[in-house]
Amino acid sequence: MNKFDVVVIGAGAAGLFCAAEAGKRGRSVAVLDHAKKIGRKILMSGGGRCNFTNMYASHENYLCSNPHFCKSALSRYTQWDFISLVAEYGIAYHEKTLGQLFCDESAADIVNLLVSECRKANVEITTRCEILSVSKTDEGFALSTSMGDYECASLVVATGGLSLPKLGATPFGYKLAEQFGLNVLPTRAGLVPFTLHEKDKTILAELSGVAIDTYATCNDTTFRENTLFTHRGLSGPAMLQISSYWQPGDILHINASPTFDIAESLAEAQLKNPDSLITTWLSKHFPKRVAATFCELNRWDNKPVKQLNSKEADAIAGFFEDWQIHPNGTEGYRTAEVTLGGVDTDELSSKTMMSKKVEQLFFIGEVVDVTGWLGGYNFQWAWSSGWAAAQYV
């Protein structure tokens, strides 16, 4: 029988950080993970450089059925606390854009930091460990696993969401929550590329690899970032961000001319270069391929701009200012960076992350119904929620 004060299930960002912080408080801690390797999502995050936090992280950057829930943890372990830890380890980092901090070298630096913090705190990490059952005892919890039986006073569930099943994602955390009578909100893929209906997909596939500056809007939320055309549909930061606000059936609004007034530009072209073709005029603002493909998409006759009547000119300007797309769906958990929904925050204390129904049962990280924007916010939630639970296990 393996006896610990704390067992953490899941050796990802939240689980490892929570384990180290609990160990520092003198608790004996075991981390169990079914995967061969720990921190696999960290290793592949940020294109291998891990966008480990965001300088501007606040509760406003998160989706949650209770928008106030994440305030407490985020304010008690902040981005600046994690940045100090990264600096303590001498890990070089830089701001890429919009407050997003990335390692200069490798995401492995962050995993090594977590392992080192766990070692200092005498945390025992076991991989390839299947959790077969979990039950409540008078003293805490009993776990039956492929690596033997465990007993602990506090149990922390840090098994993440459903995205990237090939990296070891499972619904374990949601099922465990339900086993103990906690409500779990429906889950769906977030920060995920859109797929398109066949006609749009075929035409726009011509632009595969091209990115344009856009405002993307859905359900009263707007992001100003790049939209990337792919052979499957639409991706890039603007699309990933807005995908978390999109529900099947919703229309996506794209403003493809955020830095210039397209109607004014067309009027000027009609005055100064009346014989230039629509595609030639559009090529002033967009790559040539974009101009030609948008003409095809809208069935605009590629004629000299002087031949456009005011209705046609308005239609062209209207398209660039508010291109309305009906996505076919998203690429789903196969490529999503996060999972929306999860363990209902009404079931948890925002101060401790402990279940209100079951003493000493904690849920942290992505398994909870708290989902950050793209840009380091999800790791910050893993650090902050992990730290909060670590103070009370």
Would you tell me which residues interact with ligand FDA (CB under 6 A)?
9-15, 33-35, 41, 44-46, 50-51, 131, 158-160, 163-164, 168, 170, 172, 337-338, 365-366, 376-379, 382
Minimum distance between the CB of residue 15 and ligand FDA, rounded to whole angstroms? Answer: 5
The closest alpha carbon to 281, from 298, 262, 296, belongs to 262
Of residues 35 and 358, the one with the C-beta less far from ligand FDA: 35
**Do the Cβ atoms of 374 and 191 come closer than 8 Å?**
yes
Decide whether 159 or 241 has the Cβ nearer to ligand FDA.
159
Q: Give least dist CB 113 to ligand FDA, A.
A: 14
Minimum CB distance to ligand FDA smaller for 51 or for 214: 51
**For residues 388 and 351, is the Cβ–Cβ distance under 8 A?**
yes
Residue (140 or 168) nearer to ligand FDA, CB: 168
| Closest CB to ligand FDA among residues 2, 255 | 2
Smallest gap from residue 198 Cβ to ligand FDA (A): 27
Strands, E, within 108-208: which ranges?
124-126, 131-136, 141-145, 148-157, 184-190, 194-195
CB of 291 to ligand FDA, least distance (A): 33
The answer to whether 169 and 162 are in contact (CB under 8 A) is yes
Shortest separation between residue 130's beta carbon and ligand FDA, angstroms: 7
Q: Which residue lies nearer to ligand FDA by CB, 286 or 379?
A: 379
Closest CA to 247 of 189, 207, 314: 189
Instruction: Report the SS3 class of residue 166.
Output: helix
The distance of closest approach from Cβ of residue 313 to ligand FDA in the complex, given in angstroms and rounded to an integer, is 43
Q: Which is nearer to ligand FDA, 34 or 188 (CB)?
A: 34
Q: Are 178 and 172 in contact (CB under 8 A)?
A: no
Nearer to ligand FDA, 163 or 214 (CB): 163
Gap between the Cα atoms of 260 and 244, Å rounded: 27
The residue number whose beta carbon is nearest to ligand FDA equals 12
Task: Please state the separation of Cα 186 from the chain's center in Å.
Answer: 17
Q: In the complex, what is the shortest distance from the CB of residue 112 to ligand FDA, in angstroms, rounded to a whole number?
A: 16
Nearest-angstrom CA–CA distance, 130 and 144: 9
User: Cα–Cα distance between 166 and 40 in angstroms, integer?
Assistant: 10
Rounded-to-10 torsion of CA 391, 136, 152, 42: -60
Identity of the residue numbered 64: C
d(Cα 233, Cα 261) in Å, to the nearest integer? Answer: 26
Q: How far is the CB of 325 from ligand FDA (least distance, A)?
A: 24
The Cα 80–Cα 215 span in angstroms is: 30
When the beta carbons of 9 and 308 are compared against ligand FDA, the nearer one is: 9
Closest distance of CB 175 from ligand FDA, Å: 9
| Alpha carbon distance 70, 39 (integer Å) | 23
